[in-house]
């Protein structure tokens, strides 16, 4: 999610992913060494680098609500609910 900034998945997975990623973005806004190490331990070096250098400064003034979940039509093969989760 962090690297692509937009993914298409089931609605249940999108709803469970949202609070996790929003907490990571809030942590990246702090910008300290300890927050960088925490992000690296949770999502790896590439994701943490993008969060700290691109996404964190972009949302510096925003208080919350960094992600948007948009419902799309059901999947044809099995009829499951699909949603697109993206950064605002």
Q: What is the pLDDT of residues 69-88, one digit of tens each?
A: 999 999 999 999 999 999 99
Residue 11 lies in a domain: yes
Count structural domains, the chain: 1
Residue 1 lies in a domain: no
Read off the pTM: 0.92
Parallel, antiparallel, or unpaired for β 82-87 and 67-72?
antiparallel
> Please, are residues 84 and 18 in contact by the beta-carbon 8 Å criterion?
no
Joined together, the tokens standing for residue 28 give 């990246």
At residue 15, the pLDDT reads 97
Residue 37 lies in a domain: yes
CATH number for the domain spanning 82: value is: 3.90.1030.10
Range of the domain at 71: 6-87
Residue 27 lies in a domain: yes
């Amino acid at each position: 999610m962090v690297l692509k900034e937009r993914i298409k998945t089931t609605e249940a997975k999108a709803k469970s992913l949202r609070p996790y990623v929003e907490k990571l973005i809030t942590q990246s806004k702090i910008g300290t060494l300890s927050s960088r190490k925490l992000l690296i331990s949770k999502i790896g070096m590439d994701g943490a680098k993008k969060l700290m250098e691109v996404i964190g400064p972009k949302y510096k003034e925003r208080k919350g609500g960094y992600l948007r979940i948009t419902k799309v039509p059901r999947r044809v093969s099995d009829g499951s609910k699909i949603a697109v989760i993206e950064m605002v």
